[in-house]
């Protein structure tokens, strides 16, 4: 968490919560926590605009636990007092872990439910009632329809990653859930972006909410060193191998656009004896959780994923996010690169851009309001793609008319100064990255 001048003890949190936070090594709240917690402790509704990695889970979890602890009630069979909706299984599990961690000194019960696994253990967890229920919308509706779950005791409702919820088509389920919970409640909605659809949802769900924001919508975290590498499509596998030879790439999350593409990247890395695994929608929940467990434990150095985990994946120590393929939606880029530079750390985001992805890069730069620096001295650099970009920049055409990066020593061509390029490390560049050129392999079709 970021260091600020305000400590958790200044937020009027009860001692058991402060002790748990301190035991995790956090002494100061992040901006979203500092801005949100006082309002939430007063029982106000809240609209929070914050990216993942800013500490927003604790921003709502700590006040919820304090409210439930100070106003203890027995819920009864199948009921819950607080409901947190999350768009993905991974995010739901991570939110559950936060309640477990920060509530270790409180006598509160929580439960997490999501699809892709057996209903029976989740039904058993709900049987005696819980204080906090964390759920994905689909499984929540299944449990409700089968009468294993009651929603008439909900006192606090949280809609997390609301923009992702809409992207995944959960709006009909969310509206049904809204109709099933008590009208008298405290509600919170968190979203990384605030498009018109989210503002309309806010009017439906929230009552005179306080609005807090810690980053402009669709911005990227300041601590992320973002770079683009122009490369021909058929050279992407060779470029990825070259990048992974850098020892500073300690733990890398690689994004592909398709499930089959992710599998083929891992197959190629395995041939090179680089420990890697995949996580995507075709894998069972058990396999996905196993891949995450190995990645967290350092048993695999590289995790290759599709956008299913761009939001919600919270793994400490991801040094590099590598966009093997640029996403066709600019906001997905924001969430992908947000997997690094978390909890006060720094990180590097590298994007491989081929000729067919220049339009995606333009939209990304427009969305983040920033021109991504170019690494042009890697062995697979495509000068033809770079020249098209430079030409468009000079003419004020397709690419933005700004310089590549903010360093005043950048040359008029728009490329970074020589001492800026080819640095993949999060540490100050004391030495240049060594690349090993070999005959490019044909790229896997993704």
Domains and CATH numbers, the chain: 8-213 (3.40.50.300), 224-395 (3.40.50.300)
pLDDT for residue 59 is more than 80: yes
Which region among 15-24, 42-51, 114-123, 209-218 has the lowest average model confidence (pLDDT)? 209-218
Q: If you average pLDDT over residues 224-232, what whole number do you get?
A: 95
pLDDT for residue 19 is more than 70: yes
Q: Is 138 exposed, middle or buried (0-12, 13-18, 19+ CB in 10 A)?
A: middle
pLDDT for residue 322 is more than 90: yes
pLDDT for residue 418 is more than 50: no
Q: If you average pLDDT over residues 338-348, what whole number do you get?
A: 81
Beta strands in 166-292 (DSSP E): 186-191, 210-213, 224-230, 252-255, 276-279
Question: Which comes out higher in pLDDT, residue 2 or 229?
Answer: 229
**Measured distance CA(52)–CA(153) in Å, rounded:** 29
Minimal CA–CA distance to 61: which of 440, 24, 75? 24
pLDDT in tens, 67-91: 999 998 888 899 999 999 999 888 8
pLDDT in tens, 144-171: 999 999 999 999 999 999 988 888 889 9
pLDDT for residue 196 is more than 90: no
Question: Which comes out higher in pLDDT, residue 226 or 411?
Answer: 226
DSSP letters of 35-81?
Answer: HHHHHHHTT--EEEE--TTSSHHHHHHHHHHHHHHHT-----TT-EE
pTM of the model: 0.64
Structure token digits, residue 439:
């005959």
Q: If you average pLDDT over residues 338-366, what whole number do you get?
A: 89
pLDDT in tens, 268-294: 999 999 999 999 878 887 888 899 889
Structure token digits, residue 145:
């329809």
- pLDDT for 156 equals 98
pLDDT for residue 356 is more than 90: yes
- Banded model confidence at residue 237, pLDDT cuts 50, 70, 90: very high
pLDDT for residue 437 is more than 50: no
Averaged confidence pLDDT in the chain: 84
- pLDDT for 417 equals 35
What 241-244 contacts at long range (C-beta under 8 Å, 24+ apart), as own/partner pairs, is: 241/269, 241/272, 241/274, 242/378, 242/379, 242/380, 242/435, 242/436, 242/437, 243/320, 243/322, 243/350, 243/378, 243/424, 244/269, 244/274, 244/301, 244/302
Q: If you average pLDDT over residues 35-39, what whole number do you get?
A: 96
Compute how many other C-beta atoms are within 10 angstroms of the C-beta atom of residue 384: 11
Minimal CA–CA distance to 191: which of 205, 179, 181? 205
- State the angle between helix axes of 56-70 and 31-41 in degrees (0 to 180), rounded to the nearest 10: 20
DSSP H helical segments within 216-357, as ranges? 236-244, 259-271, 285-297, 330-337
**Measured distance CA(224)–CA(296) in Å, rounded:** 20
**Measured distance CA(141)–CA(85) in Å, rounded:** 11
pLDDT for residue 18 is more than 90: yes
pLDDT for residue 427 is more than 80: no
Percent of the chain with pLDDT over 90: 59
Which region among 61-65, 142-146, 322-326, 385-389 has the lowest average model confidence (pLDDT)? 385-389
CB 303 within 8 A of CB 253: yes
- pLDDT for 388 equals 79
The Cα-based distances of 336 to 300, 324, 339, 340, 341 in angstroms read 19, 11, 6, 8, 11
- pLDDT for 407 equals 33
* 78-99 CB burial, b ≥16 within 10 A, e <16: bbbbbbbbbbbbbbbbbbbebb
Question: Which comes out higher in pLDDT, residue 348 or 220?
Answer: 348
pLDDT in tens, 360-392: 999 999 888 889 999 998 999 999 998 877 666
- pLDDT for 221 equals 67
């Amino acid at each position: 968490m970021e260091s600020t001048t305000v400590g958790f003890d200044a937020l009027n949190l009860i001692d058991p919560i402060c002790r748990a936070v301190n035991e995790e090594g956090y002494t100061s709240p992040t901006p979203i926590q500092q801005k949100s917690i006082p309002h939430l402790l007063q029982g106000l509704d809240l609209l929070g605009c914050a990216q993942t990695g800013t500490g927003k889970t604790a921003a709502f979890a700590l006040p919820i636990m304090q409210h439930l602890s100070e106003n203890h009630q027995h819920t009864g069979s199948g009921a819950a007092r607080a409901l947190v909706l999350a768009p993905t299984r991974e995010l739901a599990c991570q939110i559950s872990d936060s309640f477990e961690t920060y509530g270790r000194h409180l006598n509160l019960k929580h439960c997490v439910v999501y699809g892709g696994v057996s209903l029976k253990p989740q039904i058993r967890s709900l049987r005696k009632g819980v204080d906090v229920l964390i759920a994905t919308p689909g499984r929540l509706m299944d449990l409700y329809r089968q009468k294993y779950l009651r929603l008439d005791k909900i006192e606090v409702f949280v809609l997390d990653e609301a923009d992702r919820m809409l992207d995944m088509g959960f709006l009909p389920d969310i509206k049904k859930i809204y109709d099933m919970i008590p009208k008298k409640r405290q509600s919170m909605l968190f979203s990384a972006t605030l498009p018109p659809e989210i503002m309309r949802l806010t009017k439906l769900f929230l009552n005179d909410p306080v609005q807090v924001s810690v980053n402009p919508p669709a911005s990227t975290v300041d601590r992320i060193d973002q770079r683009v590498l122009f490369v021909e499509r058929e050279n992407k596998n060779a470029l990825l191998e070259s990048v992974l030879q850098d020892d500073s790439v300690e733990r890398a999350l690689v994004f592909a656009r398709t499930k089959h593409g992710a599998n083929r990247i891992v197959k190629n890395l395995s041939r090179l004896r680089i420990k890697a695994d995949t996580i995507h929608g075709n894998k069972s929940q058990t396999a996905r959780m196993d891949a995450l467990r190995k990645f967290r434990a350092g048993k695999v150095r590289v995790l290759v994923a599709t956008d299913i985990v761009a939001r919600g994946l919270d793994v400490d120590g991801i040094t590099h996010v590598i966009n093997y393929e640029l996403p066709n939606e600019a906001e997905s880029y924001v969430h992908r690169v947000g997997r690094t530079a978390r909890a006060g750390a720094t990180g590097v985001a590298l994007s491989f851009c081929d000729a067919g992805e220049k339009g995606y890069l333009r939209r990304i730069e427009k969305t983040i309001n920033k021109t991504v620096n170019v690494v042009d001295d890697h062995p697979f650099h495509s000068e033809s793609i770079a020249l098209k970009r430079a030409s468009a920049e000079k003419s004020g055409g397709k690419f933005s008319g700004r310089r590549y990066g903010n360093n005043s020593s950048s040359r008029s061509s728009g490329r970074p100064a020589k001492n800026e390029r080819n640095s993949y490390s999060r540490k100050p560049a004391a030495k240049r990255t060594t690349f090993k050129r070999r005959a490019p392999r044909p790229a896997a079709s993704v």
